[in-house]
Structure 1
Amino acid sequence: MATDTRSTSGPLLQLRELRVAYGGIQAVKGIELELRTGELVCLIGANGAGKTTTLNAIAGVLPLTGGDILYAGERINPVPAHERLRRGIALVPEGRGIFTRLTVAENLRMGAYSRKDRAGIEADLERVYTLLPRVRERLHQVAGTLSGGEQQMLAIGRALLSRPRLLLLDEPSMGLAPLLVEKIFEVVQSVAREGVTVLLVEQNARLALEFAGRGYVMASGRLILTGSGEALLADPGVRAAYLGEAG
């Protein structure tokens, strides 16, 4: 799927004083964040904290009002979203964003629309089928008729067909049954082990921190805490605010 490009030469992604606004409202207020190749990092926080805005800015869906995005050492602020995808930045948006009137097979092929390497595409399709066997079972089904969990698997599979180096996942567990949530997280962890860097936004903070190597906590457009998943799980403030436990 993705070539393992692990390197100690520097971060794959860096956000420097990143600022994003909706109209006159500053949604992201000068955050600093970095990910190294092959890391699985989660971004947690309450609704409205700025998490989705951050992902959309990295993917090029939203313009910046300040700061810089560095990807593989290059400043990509002016690079449009479609070109960022070609360079290896894939976003699975909240709500999945699949093409509901196309078949599962057609959706997957759309993920590889910018690629010309037919043999590589076929190999990546087989890998997606191995990771997501239910997707293979539904290839000729119209995507809009899939269950919520199947649609989420399809959305991830479609993103993987672009052969990403950086996978941005926005609320992959939303609305899913617990068993499907566990399966989705296992798939994400497998993808990270193959060398794909993953930045995960997730309301299920406990599960996200259990799976992620590191985490950032976001509140009111700012990053207020960072650490290993284990350390954040043990933090009394995190436990009280995001895990529903008394302080």
Structure 2
Amino acid sequence: MHTNPSSPLLQLAGLKVAYGGIQAVKGIDLELYRGELVSLIGANGAGKTTTLNAIAGSLRIAGGEILYAGEKIHVFPAHKRLRRGIALVPEGRGIFTRLTVEENLRMGAYSRNDKAAIEQDMERVYTMLPRVKERLHQTAGTLSGGEQQMVAIGRALLSRPKLLLLDEPSMGLAPLVVEKIFEVVQSVVKEGVTVLLVEQNANLALEFSQRAYVMESGKITLTGSGAELLTNPKVRAAYLGEAA
């Protein structure tokens, strides 16, 4: 499908998501262009994770549209969205703790049958994540939190995503490990993957993002470049721990 490169890769138009009678996402608009790293920041319970799950197809939407490369994808089940190039690294990593690291990585390629290309991609992941290569034959449950996060990212990359949805990649990790994770995310973006990042560490997210959206109680309340939002007094007071 040929799309205009200047049109958004992902577009949420009036997206609404409700569960258990509660409206978690209240009609948001969001755009993501090819090659961008965009973050979604906000307090716990703002609707950020719900938004990612709706894009990936693990939650049904209650209204609005999700357009991906110009196509309405909210009508597709999750596996069809994955085949079109949308991969989610869920909050809490979601790795298979009883499988080895290598088995976990290969699970990312389950919808592919291009064997030679899968092996190339495995090598690519090893280069990007040397720690993962050292642990290939270990059960994933024995890894540290940071290593598990890297396995989760590596597994997502094996589906050859065009759009990577990252949910709280730094959660519960030591600062040095977080730095490493963000370096990996940057190299993924350099390879041409578009990234939508949900991150509690607003400072870090804004530093690395071209653009960002601030979400509060299911609505987008602010948007701008990462640099603009970093210096915005409202954002600094609410999310960067500064007195207003």
TM-score by length of 1: 0.97
Q: Which runs of 5+ in 2 are unaligned?
A: none
Which one-letter code corresponds to 1:178 in the other structure? P
2:178 to 177, 181, 199: 181
Q: Which runs of 5+ in 1 are unaligned?
A: none
Aligned to 1:128: 125
Contact 1:7 1:37 in 2 (8 A): no
Rate the CA distance shift 1:6–1:131 in 2: closer, same or farther, 3 A. farther
Aligned length: 243
**Deviations 1:136-164 (Å, cap 9, x if unpaired)?**
00000000000000000000000000000
Aligned to 1:55: 52
- 1:80-119 alignment runs, 5 A limit: 80-119=77-116
For 2:10 and 2:126, the matched residues in 1 are separated by: 28
1:25 to 22, 25, 30: 22
Rate the CA distance shift 1:73–1:155 in 2: closer, same or farther, 3 A. same
For 1:206 and 1:78, the matched residues in 2 are separated by: 35
Aligned to 1:213: 210
For 1:94 and 1:125, the matched residues in 2 are separated by: 23
Displacement of 1:246: 1.1
Aligned to 1:78: 75
Displacement of 1:77: 1.3
> Secondary structure of the residue that 1:192 maps to in structure 2?
helix
Aligned to 1:150: 147
Q: Matched residues, percent identical? A: 79
Displacement of 1:8: 2.8
Aligned to 1:195: 192
Which one-letter code corresponds to 2:189 in the other structure? A
Displacement of 1:23: 1.7
* Deviant stretches of 4+, over 6 Å: none
Rate the CA distance shift 1:7–1:183 in 2: closer, same or farther, 3 A. farther
Displacement of 1:6: 10
For 1:230 and 1:109, the matched residues in 2 are separated by: 37
For 1:138 and 1:192, the matched residues in 2 are separated by: 25
Which one-letter code corresponds to 1:195 in the other structure? G
> Secondary structure of the residue that 2:59 maps to in structure 1?
coil
Contact 1:49 1:219 in 2 (8 A): yes
Coordinate RMSD, CA, aligned: 1.1
Displacement of 1:193: 1.2
> Secondary structure of the residue that 1:77 maps to in structure 2?
coil
TM-score by length of 2: 0.98
